[in-house]
Structure 1
Amino acid sequence: MEHADLSSADLSHAAWRKAKMSTDQATSGCVEVATNIAGVVAVRDSKNPERAPLVFTPHEWACFLDGAKNGEFELP
């Protein structure tokens, strides 16, 4: 399966959102996710939105979320 080139995705109209539990941006590290761009899920650091976001396909993002929900990324 060929990997899509997401580096050129136009994120200028991305609608960024963060988790409801992330309320105090000044003291906590939060991530923001944009899912409104066709074929792209973008993730960025809310404290540093000028940096380039990480960009995934919807399938890659779904796999990551599934793994997180199942505890695959828990620290030892």
Structure 2
Amino acid sequence: MESVTNGMRATSIEGVIWRKSRRSNPSGNCVELAVLSDGGVAVRNSRFAEGPALIYTRDEMVAFVQGAKDGDFDDLIPHN
């Protein structure tokens, strides 16, 4: 099995199940995530599934998700 590295082709990551948020829209503007065997998470653009994957450790993902829940990134989304 090939080592999973940041920026590798997402379709080269074997044995993972890619999933996206229920909030994703039908036009495919979303990201997909897959849990890796070491507990890390791979992230890819759903419209370019064969493109590169960004690889994050479990701790990095915990910090990001908790920050999102806490509203740390709310200013990135325009409010109409």
> What TM-score results when the alignment is normalised by the length of structure 1?
0.75
Q: Letter of the aligned partner of 1:12 in structure 2?
A: E
Shift of 1:23: 4.7
Distance 2:61 2:50 in 1: 22
Deviations 1:47-66 (A, max 9, x none): 01111111000010000000
What is the RMSD of the two structures over their aligned residues, measured on CA atoms?
2.3
**Structure 2 residue ranges without an equivalent (≥5):** none
Moved over 3 A (4+): none
> What pairs with 1:50-61 in structure 2 (closer than 5 Å)?
50-61=50-61
Q: Letter of the aligned partner of 1:14 in structure 2?
A: V
2:31–2:45 contact (8 Å) kept in structure 1: yes
State the aligned residue count: 69
Q: Percent identity?
A: 35
Specify the alignment match of 1:3 in structure 2. none
Specify the alignment match of 1:72 in structure 2. 72
Structure ranking higher in helix proportion: 2
**Structure 1 residue ranges without an equivalent (≥5):** 1-5
> What TM-score results when the alignment is normalised by the length of structure 2?
0.71
